[in-house]
Structure 1
């Protein structure tokens, strides 16, 4: 049996995550009190395989009951239950905007006296311990619905015995990559943006890709980065990490970062790793 606990910041997309997991066969329970999860797991174990994948949304709406989540996780792990924690997050500004658009109250609205930013700050502090235990972390601030859905498919479909490696590119001018485990800045390399015939192309185009990697410093940097990543992956796997996010950033997220993300992803694919590649800002102006 597979159990997933979906938690994270209010307004970060937990309802959307439930919809995706239901589509791929998970039995989903929203706003589940943590102390009831082991009892529900026992019921599922007696269902003769009829319920073999379950996702629970557990968040701050549970009030004081939510504070029992860490104890519940420890209990389930001690009983040998296959359990993964998915933590969803978004930037403060995005969460504020989403609440304004929906006109809903934040779960901590009363204790924060209607101050949405104070509510967000308080929630972050409460969630800090469970965030540190998460197997999967997704920042939905800049993700489209399609990108979010694809990310969840990548995590929860297929062989879950191996670490998922997400290789991403981004542009610093659109914001740093907050969910990256390994974030590399490749703005030190010559920029194709200043080459007229390459300016409006991306690292997915062969002439841009070849241009970026034509410089000796780019070749040396790529070699050193792949050596470092190759060394680190087994260490992460040894520690039981389920997801590794490797991000490459340049100024606009179209040329150098895309090229390096593609090159490293291809290197990792050849070694048999499960790879998903995303170019966050490739279509941004």
Structure 2
């Protein structure tokens, strides 16, 4: 069955919500409920396709379903990949996988705050359970059409991302998310393309620019007027003209382009702002400055 046939408007839309335990699946499910999705929590995967067919044949004619599938099912979870294959091959369903992730340190902190046991820790360390879970979820993560890193997201911000991605009238609209980050705070795990711009002259070492960020014109203009920046922009514009349409044609719903500098305040912010504006003429675009809140002074 071709992708074009599968995307007929009469199909039932199924969003499988999965990912790391503690990454925000409960908040995600509540968000889908608010959007009018029929939500299922932790149904054994073998029963999912049967349930969807029953729902499709019922008088309710439910067109949007969200199903949380995670490690709480343990012995049933191994069958999820096969179930997703069956759903993709079946008539009448449009499948999307939303994978929620977070940094290990964030997940450990959340478990300590809630005093809950990780489903794979078996009475041991939470970090051991997290490591096992990452290994078990690696294939599923690769199938995700949407991937959100919730390490730095408040529940309200996660809801906003879900609403932005799943409530639009443009079903399956392709989005380019441009991000800035600081390498000292870690590389964002949801970046499809991470670009290191630490080779550019650093405004941090200019006294009047140090307390500012790339959101302010003094820093933005300083970064963009550098000869190396001008050459980099020219090369990246050519690269993005080649890459982005191919990511879109492959069926990705979003592409995350992340620019990184040392602290995530000056160079990366300036370039993220530039390319978010540049790409907005062709694509639905958003911009996030992950580490700008770490600014001192």
The question of a shared fold, defined as TM-score above 0.5 by the shorter chain, is answered with yes
Q: Residue 42 of structure 2 aligns with which residue?
A: 31
Q: Please, which of 51, 66, 69 is the counterpart of residue 40 of structure 1? A: 51
Partner of 2:107: 95
2:250 paired residue among 225, 236, 239? 239
Contact in 2 for aligned 1:154/1:276 (Cα 8 Å): no
**1:257 equivalent among 225, 243, 268:** 268
* 1:209 matched to 2:220: yes
Deviates more, 1:182-191 or 1:237-246: 237-246
Alpha-carbon distance in 1 for matches of 2:74, 2:293: 41
**Contact between 1:265 and 1:275, CA under 8 Å: does it hold in 2?**
yes
Moved more, 80-89 or 192-201: 192-201
Note the aligned Cα RMSD (angstroms): 1.5
Report deviation, 1:151. Answer: 2.0
- Give the drift of 1:119: 1.4
Cα deviation 1:66-89 (Å, max 9, x = unaligned): 111111101110014101001111
Taking the aligned partners of 1:9 and 1:251, their CA distance within structure 2 comes to 28
1:128 aligns with 2:128: no
3-state secondary structure, aligned to 1:51: coil
Question: What SS is found at the alignment partner of 2:292?
Answer: coil
Measured against aligned partners, the alpha-carbon deviations of 1:167-222 in whole angstroms (never above 9, x if no partner) come to 11111111112211100111111112222222222211122211110111111101
Q: CA deviation at 1:160?
A: 2.8
C-alpha distance in structure 2 between counterparts of 1:151 and 1:196, whole Å: 37
Of 143, 161, 165, which residue of structure 2 is paired with 1:155?
Answer: 165
How much has 1:238 moved relative to structure 2? 2.3
Q: Summarize the alignment of residues 165-176 of structure 1 with structure 2, pairs less than 5 Å apart.
A: 165-176=176-187
Q: Please, which runs of 5 or more residues in structure 1 have no aligned partner?
A: none
Corresponding residue pairs, total = 282
What does residue 192 of structure 1 align with? 203
Contact 1:172 1:250 in 2 (8 A): yes
Asked if residue 61 in structure 1 is aligned to residue 63 in structure 2, the reply is no
What is residue 9 of structure 2 aligned with on the other side? none
TM-score, normalised with respect to structure 2: 0.90
1:143 aligns with 2:153: yes
Quote how far apart the aligned CAs of 1:50 are. 4.8
- Tell me the equivalent position of 1:104: 116
1:11 alignment partner in structure 2 = 22
Q: What does residue 8 of structure 2 align with?
A: none
Does the Cα contact within 8 Å between 1:8 and 1:131 map onto a contact in 2?
yes
